């Protein structure tokens, strides 16, 4: 299945209030900031949204709020992945009931299933929902890698719409693209690899940095879609220091601080994640000032 979405999706942070609960007012402001700057899709409850520290009730409340706030102005993709296939299926069904446009399902983490297990996991999710499903390949976090042959096998499952690639291995991503081209879309899930993934036919970006710089990330995509590599490189060169700053510590620690700097009250991450170190705060501040990003 191809064509679910093209362009940029922001892997939204989940803002937390000082009392530890979800700050829905801040989340509304974040959604409006994305929509005002041309973001095509919002990914809620991806890695950047800290779902491992949230209860299912909190996740469902955030999904419901996103639907109500967005009102069809962008596609909504809800994270439903789990290390339990049964739980992933349950969350996929609930996401569809609440009004999602698509689903993102990270590979089963910690269990370290086989490649056959990966295929079975995604088949179960697709059979439970009529929504397009994007697989999320991020082995540095999960311990599981969707190999190119397995990605090709996923194309045979009705409802599989793509793969978000964050394996960090461009050689592997090229081979995955060769095997799935025309059958399933590939999305960049690693801001440092946005340009090369788009250059080999990537359908879009699922970005962390676009929480802070959505207009610039969308412009990179548009330059690449128009074949204007020179301008895409020029803008990406300006963005790369900010991209690096967003990963000085584990995501989403730095990007939440970056959101705070531009007037989006992201709050602190939930434990065991910690507040950004002072030295890294200075780097983030310098990068945002250099790009000339204004407060929202």
pLDDT tens figures, 92-109: 999 999 999 999 999 999
Active site residue 33: no
Both structure tokens of 71: 């009102």
The answer to whether 207 and 217 have CB atoms below 8 angstroms apart is yes
Task: Give 294's pLDDT tier (boundaries 50, 70, 90).
Answer: confident
In 24-148, the DSSP E strands lie at 41-44, 75-79, 102-106, 133-137
Quote the CA–CA distance of 74 and 69 in Å, as a whole number. Answer: 10
Residues in the chain: 296
The answer to whether 136 and 104 have CB atoms below 8 angstroms apart is yes
The answer to whether 209 and 243 have CB atoms below 8 angstroms apart is yes
In the chain, the DSSP E strands lie at 7-11, 41-44, 75-79, 102-106, 133-137, 160-165, 185-188, 204-207
Active site residue 122: no
Per the DSSP assignment, residues forming a β-bridge with 103 are: 78, 133
How high does pLDDT run on average in the chain? Answer: 97
| % of the chain exceeding 90 in pLDDT | 98
Domains of the chain: 7-228 (3.20.20.70)
Quote the CA–CA distance of 267 and 260 in Å, as a whole number. Answer: 7
Q: Is the pLDDT of residue 34 over 90?
A: yes
The answer to whether 80 and 105 have CB atoms below 8 angstroms apart is yes
Task: Give 232's pLDDT tier (boundaries 50, 70, 90).
Answer: very high
Both structure tokens of 252: 């989403």
Which residue of the set 136, 187, 221, 257 is catalytic? 136
Read off the pLDDT of residues 150-178 as tens digits, 9 standing for 90 and up: 999 999 999 999 999 999 999 999 999 99
Which residue of the set 59, 75, 94, 164 is catalytic? 164
Of residues 256, 273, 260, the one with CA closest to residue 208: 256
Quote the CA–CA distance of 181 and 54 in Å, as a whole number. Answer: 36
What kind and span of H or E run contains 227?
none
């Amino acid at each position: 299945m191809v064509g679910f979405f093209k362009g940029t999706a922001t892997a939204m942070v989940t803002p937390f209030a000082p009392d530890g609960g979800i700050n829905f007012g801040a989340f509304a402001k974040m959604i409006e900031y994305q929509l005002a700057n041309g973001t095509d899709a919002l990914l809620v409850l991806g890695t950047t949204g800290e779902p491992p520290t949230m209860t299912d009730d909190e996740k469902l409340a955030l999904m419901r709020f996103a639907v109500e706030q967005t009102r069809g102005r962008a596609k909504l993709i809800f994270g439903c992945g789990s290390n339990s296939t049964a739980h992933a299926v349950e969350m996929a069904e609930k996401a569809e009931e609440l009004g999602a446009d698509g689903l993102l399902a990270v590979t089963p983490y910690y269990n370290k299933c086989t490649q056959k297990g990966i295929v079975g996991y995604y088949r179960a999710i697709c059979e439970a929902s009529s929504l397009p499903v994007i697989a999320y390949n991020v082995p540095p976090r999960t311990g599981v890698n969707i190999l190119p042959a397995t990605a090709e096998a996923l194309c045979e499952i009705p409802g599989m719409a793509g793969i978000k690639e964050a394996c960090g291995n461009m050689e592997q991503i090229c081979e995955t693209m060769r095997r799935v081209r025309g059958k399933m879309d590939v999305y960049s899930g690693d801001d440092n690899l946005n340009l090369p993934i788009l250059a080999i036919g990537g359908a879009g970006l699922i970005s962390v940095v676009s929480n802070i710089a959505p207009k610039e990330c969308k412009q990179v995509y548009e330059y690449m879609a128009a074949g204007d590599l020179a301008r895409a490189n020029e803008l990406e060169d300006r963005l790369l220091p900010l991209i690096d700053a967003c990963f000085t510590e584990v995501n989403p620690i730095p990007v939440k601080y970056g959101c705070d700097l531009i007037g989006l009250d992201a709050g602190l991450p939930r434990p065991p994640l910690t507040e950004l170190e002072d030295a890294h705060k200075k780097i983030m501040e310098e990068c945002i000032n250099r790009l000339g990003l204004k407060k929202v």
